[in-house]
Structure 1
Amino acid sequence: MSGFSQRLVLMFFLLLCGLGLLAGVIQDSFHGQAFLLAVVCLVLTWVILPRVTALLERMGAKRCCLLLICLCFLVKLAWVLLVQAPIEGDYATFWGYANSLATHEVIDSGRYIALFPHIFGYAEFLSLFLALFGSSPWVPVLLNVLLSVCSGYLLFQLCLDWFGQRAACGAILFWTFCPSQTMYNSLILSEPLYTTLMLAFLLLVSRLTACTKRVRMATAGVLAGVLLRLIQATRPIGVIWAIAVVLWLLFLALPHWQKGEGRALCSIFLPVMLAVYVLTGLLWQAHLEARIGEQPSTVPGYSLLVGFNQESAGCWNREDSDRLYQYSDQPGATAQWAQEQMKADALERITSGDIQYPTLIYEKLRGLLGSDDSCVGYLTSVVRHVQFFRLICNGYYYLLLMLALAGAVRLWKDRSGGACLLVPLYCEGLILAQMLVEVAGRYHYSLIPMLILLGWFQRQERLDQKLVRAFKRA
């Protein structure tokens, strides 16, 4: 049963990501050039990386990790020092609310947060540091650098546990030199925070698969539930991880049941995690309402309406945005009521018969997965050689997609039921969720570390040894 379920999950992952890659590559000649660059980089990766990781392996895991963490910090820091982006658009929204939360117990004009409650999570996180260090634009970008380093460290530890030291070195190097992730650090956005939180959650769950102690399982369940709530509060994807863990334990982790870990995970860890996640949700809602001065909405009506807008291919558009504010600005209207009206409009649009669903899904998949150059668009006012940066961002992203697809093929033969199966489950959950709501290229940010992890699912030491022997013979 677990083998069939695993193959089904991987088949679906290959279908979604393969179609996303294809949709991106064939959209025009420029993206075709980026794909050719990715192929060249793939060959260079096979040639160069085995030698680099073999040299790093001699240092030992701790020294190697420290060296690569320092390298990651220097690369990310250098970019934000060289490129200072203007605070505008969505980033100005985060910045304004964070400053207000840093100086007021109850903020003025909290309606926007009431309409989009996930904005509050990152804004409050940032406000803690603004209150401590002052209202300087350097605070959020330096936080982004530190969070990026934390994500790199977590990637190293995950790959070290799953695939060995060489794979861990390769993973953090791929993260360090990922151009789009590096460029996003110049902006004020929540992606670095929730990505770090979800990698911490994944590492926590992964290390529980070798544990049978009840107290430790219960403690980990509490911590996992809190992490899920923090992820959900920053970006509404915590529920995707919760569903992924349930599916993994019930259908994919059956080999662990024979050893006892699976029974302990299901009987102790899972109920505690879900209970804490639900309970903290009620506490978070009350805290949010107290800080913004009104009840936040619990209905994503606006996002659903935009997600099924055929003309905008599920992306932001002025018409739907204006409709939301028309509802919100009516006398006596609450955020909840406005979003409920948008939900009713969305259901009407969905059932109207005017939507060509195959075309819409394809366009949304291309918008979400087809390219990785949205970061360049946000920085055009401060970055020269825009086409060059677009090319390397897309080429690097296509390389990660190809490696992840190859990793999924290799994972097909694995029958351990390990926590690494949470990676494709999360990817599928996020992609499917985005097919229902508003999409944007930036929304696949959290998939980047997942692609890196999945790309290293291989007998990396064996592959490296074969390549090194081949180089020596040559």
Structure 2
Amino acid sequence: METRRNWFTYIYLTFFGIFVCYSLFGGILNIGVSTKYPFLWYGGILLAMGGLWLISNSAAIILSHFDIYRFRLRSRIPGIIAEAVIIAALILAAGAVRIWIIRYLPVQPQSDFQTYYNVADLLAKGTLKRDGAGYCDYISQFPHVIGYPYILSLIFKVFGASVTTGLYFNLVVSLLSVFFVNRIARLVCGRAAGVLAMVLAAFWPSQVLFINQMASEPLFTCLSLLCIWITAYLFSPSSSARDIRIFVLNILLGIMLAIAGGVRPVSVVLLIAIIVCTITYKAGNAEASNTKAGLIKTCMARGWIRAIFLLAGFLICSQLISGATARAIDRKLPDTTVSFGYNLMVGLNVEAKGAWNEQDAKFLNDRFIETGSAVEAHKASLEQALKRIKEDPEGIANLLFQKYALLWANDDYGSYWNLLFMEQQHNLTPERKEFINSVAIWNNIYYIICVYMSLIAGIFLWFRKRAGTVHILILYFVGIAFLHMVVESQSRYHYSILPVFAILAAVGAAEIFRFHRHREEQSCGSQSEAAGPEHENRSIGEQLSKKQEPGIEESKAPVFTGEDKNTVAGNRFDMLDAIQKGHVTVTVTEAYLKEKEEKLKEDNKE
């Protein structure tokens, strides 16, 4: 398939560059604030970034110069086995680290996390309406609150209701997220990038520390990455021939996005990002002009039709989820036109810096008690939010940028919630406190490096003529960043974007290698077709996934490290057959044919 960029592409790439630079600037300043020698940290981080750039480019130059990327095993099996072993080892290691955190840093659910657990317990027992009237009122105001507990209640019915069960469920979905990161990066940039992205996601410090919280973020992130993986497959060239599967997957993608929206409403940002890139879909010339193609294949060759089926699956499933939620709590739910009223009011509270606060929570609760309606309570909150904009527009404008810095300038949410809850529960020993604080420092360095590599990926994407899965990741981040500049925000709300940074960091490393490989081919006077205009603007993963279809001429792709499942290899050329059919003419044709004929005659005589 092919996705053309347009003027909007340059707009969101520009915002991506601005946002990421702002994150780097804020992150570097933030990391030295609480240290004795802050400027030593500032200089150290800048030197580390410069060193990473030099090392990455030096490694790429060496690999390109010695043509290591052209190495190919005779059989695909060893490469497949090696990749599977690496993936399994990384998942086991990531699981072991998370299990250790759950056991070494025990935390009981509090705040929103306790609400999730209690609602899940009531749902598992089937007594939510009878014993949880207060929770039903709360869910009527915030319908997504029931999403994670409902799925958790299904686990409770099988394994029993306990905090340990919930934490190990989060452990499983977080490991699935690590696997999905590998699959996405592999489709986009190849095996090596897939492994690199997986390593970054598997051992991301803040996500590892957060595993002992009964939070909805791990499940939402897992569902979001699954949706991105499906989209990456739909965007791969090899998928275009499987028309029925593509039809089903587009509807399934919409359903999965709706389920993710039932856990956290921000999935609508990912939906918009996918639709924006999908409507620019264009089938290859041969595919689009094939008059013998069936109706489904013809429809699936057009991006806007794909987007319609995707959106239909999302809307239908969303309505079913809303109806089921209303029946489960026996309350009327607010519609989408006013359901964001409270979050907007909180997000525009200058004094609270756009975070949750008692004042706004009391305002919503009072309006709900007065009217008995979540719809009216959200309407009143929306009016209050608009009033704040009119009264202090300059303060609101300042707040927007302040909120961005608070959300993206550090990655402290894992250490913050652990320190807060463990201190309140009186199990924060000096050893645990020292461990959490030390992890927090190195975690922010880890975060800054990955954001820096993501910026490099964005710079390379600026010069590509075609869009793809990576552009969905860019749009997803930009959309989340804009959204939380306006609505309620806190540091853990960027949890689901961290795997995106891991993938983009791997893309940045892959693009550095690709750049030097291309320069090496040009300097050597290579006429490799990898330098062709169509091949040049396709990502490495899309190059590898291209597969020839009947009636479609396939361009030759360069050889990369290992073997891709879609690469056609091992074909033998039959010289005699080609000469007899007139496909090949050489000066020794007659002698060649004569020799073969004489040999056949001798064999027949014998």
TM-score of the superposed pair, with normalisation by structure 1: 0.89
Which of 146, 167, 172 is the matching residue for 2:172? Answer: 146
What is the Cα deviation at residue 372 of structure 1? 0.7
- For the Cα contact (< 8 Å) 1:141–1:188, is it kept in 2? yes
SS in 1 for 2:486: coil
Q: Is the 8 A contact 1:95 1:123 kept in 2?
A: yes
Superposition deviation, residue 185 in structure 1: 0.7
Q: For 2:484 and 2:413, locate their aligned partners in 1 and report how far apart those are by CA, in whole Å.
A: 17
Per the alignment, do residues 144 and 7 of structure 1 end up closer, same or farther by CA in structure 2, a change over 3 Å counting?
Answer: same
* C-alpha distance 341-462 of structure 1, shift in aligned 2 (>3 A): closer
Could you tell me which residue of structure 2 aligns to residue 30 of structure 1?
33
Instruction: Choose from 177, 185, 206 the match for 2:232.
Output: 206
Structure 2 residues without counterparts, runs of 5 or longer: 69-77, 289-296, 423-427, 518-606
Sort the Cα spacing of 1:423 and 1:370 in 2 relative to 1 into closer, same or farther, 3 A.
same
Which stretch of structure 1 is more off in the superposition, 92-101 or 355-364? 355-364
Task: Give the match for residue 6 of structure 1.
Answer: 9
Deviation (angstroms), 1:254: 5.5
The CA deviation at 1:30 is 2.7
Provide the rounded CA distance (Å) in 2 between the counterparts of 1:62 and 1:38.
35
**Residues 302 and 343 in structure 1, CA contact (< 8 A), matched pair in contact too:** yes
Q: Matched residues in 2 for 1:198 and 1:105: separation?
A: 30
**Is 2:421 aligned against 1:384?**
no
Change beyond 3 A, Cα 1:165–1:354 = closer
Q: Alpha-carbon deviations, 1:159-197, whole Å to 9, x = none?
A: 111112111111111111111000111000111111111
Relative distance call for 1:304 and 1:162 in structure 2 (3 A) is: same
> CA–CA distance in 2 between the matches of 1:337 and 1:113?
15
Question: Contact 1:175–1:452 (CA<8 Å) still a contact in 2?
Answer: yes
Choose 1 or 2 for highest CA Rg. Answer: 2
Q: Which residue of 2 aligns with 1:96?
A: 118
- Counterpart residue number, 1:304: 344
Which residue of the partner structure matches residue 143 of structure 2? Answer: 117
Q: Do the aligned partners of residues 19 and 255 (structure 1) sit closer, same or farther apart at CA in structure 2, a change above 3 Å counting?
A: farther
Q: Which runs of 5+ in 1 are unaligned?
A: 468-474
Q: Residues 395-424 of structure 1, C-alpha deviation per residue, up to 9 Å, x if partnerless?
A: 211111111111111222222322221000
Q: How many residues are aligned here?
A: 463
What is the CA–CA distance in structure 2 between the aligned matches of 1:451 and 1:129, rounded to whole Å? 30
- Within 5 A, what are the aligned runs for 1:358-437? 358-380=397-419, 381=422, 382=428, 383-385=432-434, 386-437=436-487
Q: State the match for 1:137 in structure 2.
A: 163
> 258-267 or 142-151: which moved more?
258-267
Cα separation, partners in 2 of 1:433 and 1:232, compared to 1, 3 Å: same
Aligned pairs for 1:454-469 within 5 A: 454-458=504-508, 460=510, 463=513
Secondary structure (helix, strand or coil) at the match of 2:33 reads helix
Secondary structure of the structure 2 residue equivalent to 1:446? helix
- State the Cα distance separating 1:133 from its structure 2 match: 1.1
CA distance in 1, matches of 2:59, 2:88: 20
Computed over aligned residues only, the root mean square deviation of the Cα atoms, in angstroms, reads 3.0
Instruction: State the SS of the aligned residue for 2:194.
Output: helix
- 2:312 matches 1:275: yes
Could you tell me the TM-score, scaled by structure 2's length?
0.71
Structure 1 residues 461, 428: CA separation in 2 closer, same or farther (over 3 Å shift)?
Answer: closer
The one-letter code of the counterpart of 2:159 is: F
Give how far 1:219 is off: 0.3
Please tell me the residue identity of whatever aligns with 1:111.
D
Aligned equivalent of 1:471: none
Go from structure 1 to structure 2 and tell me whether the alpha carbon gap of 1:421 and 1:216 turns closer, same or farther (over 3 Å shift). same
TM-aligned CA deviation for residue 158 of structure 1? 1.1
- Alignment pair present for 1:320 and 2:360: yes
- Per mean C-alpha deviation after superposition, the further-off stretch among 433-442 and 13-22 is 13-22
Displacement of 1:25? 2.9
Please identify, of 441-450 and 25-34, the stretch whose mean Cα deviation from structure 2 is larger: 25-34
Match of 1:351 in 2: 390
* Cα contact 1:155–1:449 (8 A) shared by 2: yes
How far is the alpha carbon of 1:47 from its aligned partner? Answer: 5.7
1:239 Cα deviation (Å)? 1.3
Q: Deviations over 1:65-106 (max 9, x none)?
A: 222222222222222222211221111111111111111254
Equivalent-residue separation in structure 2 for 1:325 and 1:192 (angstroms): 29
Moved more, 258-267 or 437-446: 258-267
1:10/1:377 CA distance change after superposition, 3 Å = same
Q: Which residue of 1 aligns with 2:273?
A: 244
How big is each residue's C-alpha offset from its partner over 1:83-137, in whole Å with a ceiling of 9 and x where there is no partner? 2112211111111111111112543221111111111100111111112111211
**Shift in Å at residue 255 of structure 1?**
8.0
1:71 aligns with 2:121: no
Aligned with 1:30: secondary structure? coil
In the alignment, what sits opposite 2:502?
A: 452
Q: Partner of 1:395: helix, strand, or coil?
A: helix
User: Alignment partner of 1:391: what SS?
Assistant: helix
Shift in Å at residue 243 of structure 1?
A: 1.1
Deviations 1:430-454 (A, max 9, x none): 1111112001000011110111111
